[in-house]
Amino acid sequence: MLKIPLEDFKNKIIYDEVSKAETNNLGEIPDLISFIKDKISIDNNYFMILYKVNEVLLEKYQSETIEQMKKNLEPKYLKEVRIFSNESELYIWRGSDGFSYRFRKDGEGDNVNIYIENHIIWGTDISEDNFLSEKFRGINIKLPFTIKISNNDLPLKYQVYNYFKKDKDLGLIKFYDSRLVKFVKNNGDEIIG
């Protein structure tokens, strides 16, 4: 658990929210698609990141997308799956004893403190077919957005909520969870769809 002095957080984006998390060990997952569909409703603006043994894929999460992703969701090649929106995230990861998951939903549950960060996605050029690339690093990422992104929108970023508790006795904060929230353009505007 990361501990940081409270004074380091002056002038940072921090707010209070209510949130709840459900965490469990799944072992081996025979039908990952059914499990995901049980946890995530399609009616929100969700994105999906798949961390496989040989690649990372970004997708828009929709009912037709999840069926098309069947071969990419084969458990033997997966390391992590993150399906996220402004309201919630389903995070699935492989550990030594199979898969585990955490589903976090904001807007209901206990009071929490959130520290917001935007992380840069490496890439210097956007192609006509929405590929983000950086030639010198060998990066070539197919972006899942239906809207057109231009080089003026770079660098693209993803937003992370970091959940923490204040320990006033020690003068520290303790981070205990984080989740992906959304993609944003360089100017801070959210990328929807």
pLDDT for the residue numbered 8: 55
- From the number of C-beta atoms within 10 Å of its C-beta (0-12, 13-18, 19+), residue 181 rates as buried
- Paired strand residues for 163: 114, 177
Cis check: omega of the bond before 155, within 30 degrees of 0 = yes
Residue 50 corresponds to which tokens in the numbers above?
């798949």
pLDDT for the residue numbered 1: 45
Average pLDDT of span 160-189:
92
pTM of the model: 0.87
Residue 13 confidence class, pLDDT cut points 50, 70, 90: low
pLDDT in tens, 41-82: 766 679 999 999 988 889 888 766 677 777 888 888 899 999
Please report, for residues 56, 85, 123, 145, 148, the alpha-carbon distance to residue 192 in angstroms, rounded to integers and kept in the order given: 21, 10, 19, 7, 11
